[in-house]
Structures are given as C-alpha cells and as structure tokens.
C-alpha cells in the first residue's frame, strides 16, 4: 500500500530572481546538509517547467512535522537581490502552480504554504487564499 497524501505544501527556494536553478542544484544543497537528497517532490523553475524531485511514494523533507502525509512543491525564487523575502515568481511559474494545485484540489488534498507551519516567510504569499481563487 502506498503512503496516504492529503496535503500539498508550497515552498520557495529562497533564491534571487537572477538565479535559474532546479532540482539538480537543490538536490546538491540538500545532500550538503546531510539529507538523503532533495526534500521537495516537485520544483517549478523560473521558466514554468515543473521538475520531479523526490518520488512521491517517499516521505519528503520539506516541512517539519508535516512530511508524512504531504507533497512538497517548491517555486524557484522568493527573495530579492538584497536577500529579503519577496513574491517575485514569473507568470509562467504561477500558471504552472495553478494547474498543479487544481489537480491536487480535484484529488481532495489540502493546499498550504510553508509559512503556515513555520516562522519563515516561505513562500512569501498566502497559499490558501491563492488556492481558494482557482
């Protein structure tokens, strides 16, 4: 039997808009932290392309206390050039995120932002409000 997934948690990579990164780079960062690999299940790059990260049949490492029954999706960006939290995602990223979240809502999954479970600003917007409008 597969794991029960009842929630999607949206994150940001906390990278500047000038940084075009994806699964490869985030995987390296997480390995350097001593993790078994990328903690997110999906990454949405600046160009709107969604890349698979950790397989969804495996528990993620993206939101302490919430990983067992959730999927983590990470938007690349989230800080400005000064390193301050900022909603700076491209329109292509928002389109991809919207389609992704619609499919998750159809499956009946709760949609949350990392900032609901952490003192971090990540992903720098109110995810439940965003999801309620799609």
Catalytic residue numbers, as ranges: 11, 40, 114, 120, 122
User: Is there a contact between 62 and 72 (Cβ–Cβ < 8 Å)?
Assistant: yes
Nearest to 70 by CA among 7, 4, 116: 7
Q: Which residues of 50-64 are buried (b: 16+ CB within 10 A; e: fewer)?
A: bbebbeeeeebbbbe
């Amino acid at each position: 039997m597969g794991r029960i997934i009842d929630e999607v948690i949206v994150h940001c990579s906390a990278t500047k808009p000038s940084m075009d990164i994806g699964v490869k780079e985030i995987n390296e960062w997480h390995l350097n932290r001593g993790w078994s690999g990328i903690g997110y299940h999906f990454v949405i790059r600046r160009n709107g392309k969604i890349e698979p990260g950790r397989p969804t049949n495996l528990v993620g490492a993206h939101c302490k206390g919430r990983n067992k029954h959730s999927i983590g999706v990470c938007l690349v960006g989230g800080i400005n050039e000064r390193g301050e939290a900022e909603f700076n995602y491209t329109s292509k990223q928002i389109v991809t995120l919207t389609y992704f979240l619609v499919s998750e809502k159809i499956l009946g999954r709760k949609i949350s932002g990392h900032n609901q479970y952490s003192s971090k600003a990540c992903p720098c917007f109110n995810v439940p409000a965003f999801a309620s409008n799609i």
